[in-house]
A = this chain, B = another copy of it.
Amino acid sequence: MAEVRSLNIDDACDGILVQSPLPKALGKAVEQEVFDTIDPAKDVDCFHPANIGRLTQGRAVLAPCTPSGVIELLVREGIAIAGQRAVVIGRSEIVGKPMALLLLQRDATVTICHSRTKDLPAVAATADILVAAIGRPGFVTPAFVKPGAAVVDVGINPITVRQDVVTLFGAESPRVATFDSKGSVIAGDVHPAVAEVAGALTPVPGGVGPLTIAMLLKNTVIAAEQRST
Residues of A bordering B, CB below 8 Å: 32, 48-57, 59, 82-83, 85, 91, 93, 97, 100-101, 104, 107, 109-114, 116-118, 123
Contacts and interface: CB of A to CB of B under 8 A. Distances in A.
A130 to B, nearest CB: 14
Q: With a 10 A CB-CB cut-off, give which of A57, A100, A114 has the most chain B CB atoms.
A: A57
Copies in the complex: 2
Given A48-B53, A111-B111, 6 more contacts: A49-B50, A49-B51, A49-B54, A56-B93, A56-B97, A83-B118
Contacts of A57: 49, 52, 93
Nearest to A83: B116
A109 B123 contact: yes
Nearest to A109: B117
B113 A109 contact: yes
A104 to B, nearest CB: 6
Nearest to A84: B118
A32 B59 CA distance: 11
Contacts of A50: 49-50, 53
B83 A117 contact: yes
A224 B118 CA distance: 40
A91 B104 contact: yes
26 contacts: A49-B50, A49-B53, A50-B53, A51-B53, A52-B52, A52-B53, A52-B56, A53-B53, A53-B56, A56-B93, A82-B116, A83-B116, A83-B117, A83-B118, A85-B118, A91-B104, A97-B101, A97-B104, A104-B114, A107-B116, A109-B111, A109-B112, A109-B117, A109-B123, A110-B112, A111-B112
